[in-house]
Amino acid sequence: MEEYKHFAHNIKRNHRIKRNRRILLFIVILLFIVGFNTMIVKKPTVDKHEVQSSIANKEEMTAVQKVISKKKDELHKGTKNVEALLKNDYEVEDIAFVEKYLKQQISGDMPDGANGEKIAYLSFDDGPSETVTPIILDVLKEAKVPATFFVLGREVDKSDVTKSLIKRMIEEGHAIANHSYSHNYDYLYPNKKVDLEHFMDDIEKTNNSLKTVLGEDFITRAVRYPGGHMTWAKNDPTGVASLDKALEAKGYHHVDWNVLPKDAEGAPKNAEELMREFTNTVAGREKAVILMHDTYGKEETAKALPEMIKYLKEHDYKFRIMK
């Protein structure tokens, strides 16, 4: 009987040992599985974040590279350079709008574009010059305002310096317009009559000069008559009417001005006198097309320009170029 009890006790003990071993093994396996799964789950989470970040950075860099590439393509075509596109994206006024506005204003009619918005169109004739034009450009750059330059082809062709100034105008966001090649009244208006053939030849000659500097893709639609359209329309209305049609057929638009500091009229004036003439003629103008000159001998114009710009800003004018 005692032998049987001892045998039964050993069986129970062995059973407990085996059960405990199974439980221990189960716990070890469970801990191993949990730890292994934690490693598997955690690592992909980190990797996924890094991959997503890497992809985002690559996509961002690709987008930036595309913008830069586009700007370089536009520069290659002779439109604007990267600096101008990124920094000096000035507002552009359709030259056809300015032409119509001035015509209606000169006729005494209320211009269609009169809307209460004060706009200043700075314009410079007869350049580029090696002496005055660089100063004008420096002033405009400092003031962060644009201008339209009505250039002469003969001045463009004069030297490498004047050619570089034409490029600088475009690079800094300004507009270039056509003011004839020669500015020679005897050639363009012999006996105070418009010579249509000579005038159109002069316009095309200047265009060719500009294309040589800025590329074959460069075009300008803006023209200003040497001496002014209003002057020659009085002297030779029939001839001017014919010239207007010829220009229109080629896609050109002519503009005069309605604000005049008189830096090319009468006796030479100093900066203070120019400023006085300017304020007298700009007063009350909603759309101010301002005529100045950047040719040789116009240093006083360059001196007066900062004060003119200051005046316009203080009187809530916005600045635009004409194209």
Residues 253, 305, single domain; the answer is yes
Q: What is the mean pLDDT of the chain?
A: 83
End-of-domain residue from the set 19, 46, 76: 76
Asked whether residue 315 carries a pLDDT value surpassing 60, the answer given is yes
For the cut 50, the answer to whether the pLDDT of residue 72 exceeds it is no
Report CA dihedral (228, 294, 210, 196) to the nearest 10 degrees: 20
Q: What is the pLDDT of residue 243?
A: 97
What does 267-318 look like in DSSP terms, one character per residue? S---HHHHHHHHHHHHTT-SEEEEEEE-STT-HHHHHHHHHHHHHHHHTT-E
Q: What is the pLDDT of residue 65?
A: 57
The range of the structural domain enclosing residue 116 comes to 91-322
pLDDT tops 50 at residue 8 = no
How does residue 69 score in pLDDT terms, banded at 50, 70 and 90? low
Using one digit for the tens of pLDDT, what is the confidence trace for 122-160? 999 999 999 999 999 999 999 999 999 999 999 999 999
Is 97:266 a contact under the CB 8 Å cutoff?
A: no
Helix axes 133-143, 160-171, angle to 10 degrees: 20
- pLDDT, tens digit (0-9, with 9 covering 90-100), for 75-126: 444 444 434 433 456 799 999 999 999 999 999 999 999 999 999 999 999 9
Predicted confidence at residue 249, as pLDDT, reads 97
Q: Residues 6 or more apart from 25 whose CB is under 8 A from it?
A: none
Tell whether 187 is covered by a domain: yes
Q: State the pLDDT at residue 152.
A: 98
Q: pLDDT category, 286, cuts 50, 70, 90?
A: very high
Q: Note whether 28 and 101 are same-domain residues.
A: no
Region of residue 90 (phi > 0: left; psi between -120 and 50: alpha; otherwise: beta): beta
Nearby residues of 182 by Cβ (< 8 Å), 6 or more positions away = 152, 153, 154, 188, 202
Task: Specify whether 69 is located in the same domain as 101.
Answer: no
Same domain, 151 and 288: yes
Of the three residues 33, 51, 76, the one that is the final residue of a domain is: 76
**In a shared domain, residues 154 and 293:** yes
pLDDT at residue 273 greater than cutoff 60: yes
In angstroms, the CA 292 to CA 253 distance is 19
CATH number, domain containing residue 258: 3.20.20.370
Report the pLDDT value the prediction gives residue 221, as an integer from 0 to 100: 96
Yes or no: say if 96 and 264 are a contact pair by the CB < 8 Å rule.
no
Share of residues in the chain with pLDDT > 70 (%): 72
Regarding whether 179 and 64 lie in a shared domain, the answer is no
pLDDT at position 44 is: 44
Do both 9 and 148 map to the same domain?
no
